[in-house]
Amino acid sequence: MSNEPSVFSRIIAREIPADVVFESDAVVAFRDIAPQAPVHLLVVPKTERYRDVVELAAGDPALLAEIVATAKRLADEHTGGEFRLVFNTGASAGQTVFHVHAHLLGGGLPEGTLGH
């Protein structure tokens, strides 16, 4: 594992700008810079401790529940409460930042798509 902070840690530290839509003591949510849906937000815990959702579920289920609750709150505000929540786990599954995060997708996703 790299000793360098993840891009998400750098966003949390405000070293990299982002369009932040929500922040609490434990999580931050911001718009994805390459959206795959009309609404594409990332919900990210402020800790870099967990690489993926499997590690998070085993290590801090309460934090995972907070990510899901935050996603629901944001979906209520941005997508009328209907949404898709995606956690990529592993490079071959599309994970490019190894700091656990959820993709909140919504705003009109046709059945049978993954938001492309």
Indicate the burial class of 12 (C-beta count within 10 angstroms; 0-12, 13-18, 19 or more): buried
Spell out where 32-101 has E strands: 39-45, 84-86
Active-site hit among 78, 99, 101, 103: 101
Q: Is 101 a catalytic residue?
A: yes
Residues with catalytic roles: 101
